[in-house]
């Protein structure tokens, strides 16, 4: 069985830096992030094309995702309970494929945050006052870089250094590269094969 399992290495996520985009509002659910009618696909490849599809149509070109000043942003700043509603993996997939690598908000729906972690996407919570200060700073100067330090749980912008929070277990997964279950499995390939060789029903006799 030796050599049957090989693959990618763990990727530790310690630092995210990029421009920010602000979407205001609390309790933005997964159906708003990616409407259900766009989920009837075999792969996630084009999911980002329909991110906030209905909200963007309703805004008639004035949605933040259609604002040229936010084009290419990698960090999305949101409100309270972002990603609530249906526990669809398609929501973080759509956000990632649009180009976002991290999210800063007051709070995140638990399953949404877990789905983000499994994709290596970072969710950082800040208190209400600091979120509002960060929003204002980005809206005033969308060209600035926002930096997230996963270990220190900080968000740095022109508004200053803000102390955020990432659950301990999640932070450990990101820093140690354990967020990528496939990489962890493949890394353990030799141990799995040794164990499989000891099992008669795997050996075939």
> Domains in the chain, please, with CATH?
15-203 (3.20.19.10)
Average pLDDT of span 53-72:
96
Q: Classify burial at 125, counting beta carbons within 10 Å of its beta carbon; exposed 0-12, middle 13-18, buried 19 or more.
A: buried
pTM over 0.75: yes
Confidence of residue 4 (pLDDT cuts 50, 70, 90): very low
pLDDT of the residue at 182: 74
Q: What region does 126 belong to: left with phi over 0, alpha with psi -120 to 50, or beta?
A: beta
Q: Which two tokens stand for residue 132?
A: 């509002």
Whether the predicted pLDDT of 95 surpasses 70: yes
pLDDT of the residue at 169: 96
Give 192's contacts (C-beta < 8 A, 6+ positions apart).
Answer: 5, 185
Q: Return the higher-pLDDT residue of 143 and 38.
A: 143
Q: Residue 155 in contact with residue 146, Cβ under 8 Å?
A: yes
Whether the predicted pLDDT of 181 surpasses 70: yes
Q: Which residues of 157-184 are buried (b: 16+ CB within 10 A; e: fewer)?
A: bebeebebebeeebbebbeebbbbeebe
């Amino acid at each position: 069985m030796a050599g049957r399992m090989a693959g990618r290495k763990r990727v530790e996520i310690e630092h995210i830096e990029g421009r920010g985009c602000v979407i205001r509002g609390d309790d933005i659910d997964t159906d708003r992030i990616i409407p259900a009618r766009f989920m009837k696909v075999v792969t996630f490849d084009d999911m980002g094309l329909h991110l906030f599809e209905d909200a963007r149509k309703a805004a008639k070109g004035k949605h933040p995702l259609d604002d040229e000043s936010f084009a290419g942003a990698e960090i999305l700043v949101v409100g309270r309970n972002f990603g609530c509603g249906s526990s669809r993996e398609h929501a973080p997939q759509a956000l990632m494929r649009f180009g976002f690598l991290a999210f800063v908000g007051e709070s995140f729906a638990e399953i949404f945050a877990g789905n983000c972690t499994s994709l290596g996407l970072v969710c950082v919570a800040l208190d209400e006052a600091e979120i509002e200060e960060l929003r204002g700073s980005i809206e005033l100067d969308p060209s600035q870089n926002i930096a997230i330090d996963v270990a220190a749980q900080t968000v740095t912008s022109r508004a200053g250094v803000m102390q955020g929070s990432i659950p301990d277990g999640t932070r450990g997964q990101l820093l140690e590269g354990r967020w990528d279950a496939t990489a962890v499995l493949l890394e353990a390939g030799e141990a799995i094969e040794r164990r499989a060789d000891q099992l008669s029903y795997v050996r075939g006799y």
